[in-house]
Amino acid sequence: MDATILGAAVINGLLLGGSYALVAVGLTLIYGVLHIINFAHGSLLMLAMYGAYYLLVKAHIDPYAAIPLMVVAMFAAGYVLYRGLIGRFSHGKDENILLITLGLSIVLENVALFFFKGDSQTITVSYSDRMVALGPALVPLPKLVSFAASLVLCAALAWFIARTETGRAIRAVAKERQGARLVGIDVEKIFAVSYGIGIACLGAAACLLIPSFYVSPSVGNLFVIVAFTIVVLGGMGSFAGALVGALIIGLTESLSGLFLGEALGQIGISLIFILILLFRPTGIFNK
C-alpha cells in the first residue's frame, strides 16, 4: 500500500469525522440530560439542511454566513418542539418520549418527501470545488472548513456547559432532578433548553455539510445511524467521547472504504458498533 494513499485516507477520515461530530454531540447532550435517544435527530438534520439549501437558493445567503441564523432557528425549533410536543405528551415517561420522537421523524420525513420530492439536491458555491493541499492529501476546502468549524463549535459548547450558570444547571438536572428542583431550577425548562441546544447543533452541522453534501428527505438516516454508533462508542452522554468517537468512526469509514472498496465503507462502522456492544457497552470514555 502506498503511504500517500493511506495518509490521504487518514486525513479524509478525520475530516469526515469532524463533520459527524456536531451531530453526535447534539445527540449525546440530549441523551445525557433527558436519558432518551432522540429518534427525530436525523430528520431534524435533514430539515436544517433544506433550510440552509433554501437560504442559499432563495435568499442568496451563503451557508457559512447562515450558521448563526440556523443555530438560532433550530434552537427555537427544538425548544418549542420540546415544550409543545415532547414534554407535554410524554407525561414524564421515557418510553413515551421515544415514541414521540420516532413518530416525529416519520412525519417530518414524509412532509419533506411531499414538499421537496424524493430526489437529492446539491448546491454550488464559489468555493465548492476549491482544493487545499493538506500533507499528502488534496482535500476540498468545504470539508476542511467544516472540520475546523465543527471542532470550534464543539469546544464552545463544552465551554458553555462547563462554565456558565445554565451549563451547571444542565449538568445538575442530568444527574439529580429533585435536587435541582429544590434549588429552584425549572427542570422542564432545562429539558427544553437542552433539547434546543442539541437541535441547534444540527443547524450548524447542516450549514457546514451543505456545501459538500447532497440533501434529500432521507439524508438524515445516513447520519443518525453513524451518530448513534459514535455516541455508544464514546459513552452515552459523554461530550469528549462523542468528539473522539466521531473522529474514530470517520477514520474507520475512510479506511474500510480504502481497503474494502467505497461501497463497503459503512461495514467497518457496523463492525465497531457490534464490537463495542460486546466488549465495552458503556463506551470508551465511561467507567
Partner 1 sequence: MLEVRGLRAGYGEVEILHGMDIDVAEGEVVAVLGSNGVGKSTLNNNLSGIYAPFGGSIRFCGEGIAGANPARIVDLGLIQVPEGRRVFPNLSVRENLELGSYRRGRAARARNLERVTRIFPRLKERYGQMAATLSGGEQQMLAIGRGLMSEPRLLILDEPSLGLSPILVDEMFALIGELNGEGLSILLIEQNAVQSLEAADRAYIIEHGVVAMSGPAAELARSPDLRARYLGL
Complex with partner 1: residue 96 or 218, whichever CB lies closer: 96
- For position 130 contacting partner 1 by CB under 8 A, the verdict is no
Q: What is the DSSP string of 24-75?
A: HHHHHHHHHHH-S--TTHHHHHHHHHHHHHHHHHHH---TTTTHHHHHHHHH
- For position 175 contacting partner 1 by CB under 8 A, the verdict is yes
Shortest approach of partner 1 to residue 164 CB, angstroms? 11
Work out which of 68, 89, 176, 282 binds partner 1, going by CB under 8 A.
176
Closest to 143 measured CA to CA, from 156, 128, 123: 128
Binding pattern to partner 1, positions 29-58, x when CB under 8 A? ------------------------------
Q: What share of the chain is helix, strand, coil (3-state, %, to 5)?
A: 75, 5, 20
Helix axes 3-34, 41-59, angle to 10 degrees: 110
Q: How many angstroms separate the CA atoms of 84 and 73, rounded? A: 16
Work out which of 84, 179, 261, 281 binds partner 1, going by CB under 8 A.
179
Shortest approach of partner 1 to residue 234 CB, angstroms? 16
Residue 222 cell numbers, joined: 445516513
Complex with partner 1: residue 7 or 167, whichever CB lies closer: 167
Helix (H) or strand (E) holding 103: helix 94-116
- For position 168 contacting partner 1 by CB under 8 A, the verdict is yes
- For position 181 contacting partner 1 by CB under 8 A, the verdict is yes
Binding site for partner 1 (CB under 8 A): 165, 168-169, 171-172, 174-176, 178-186
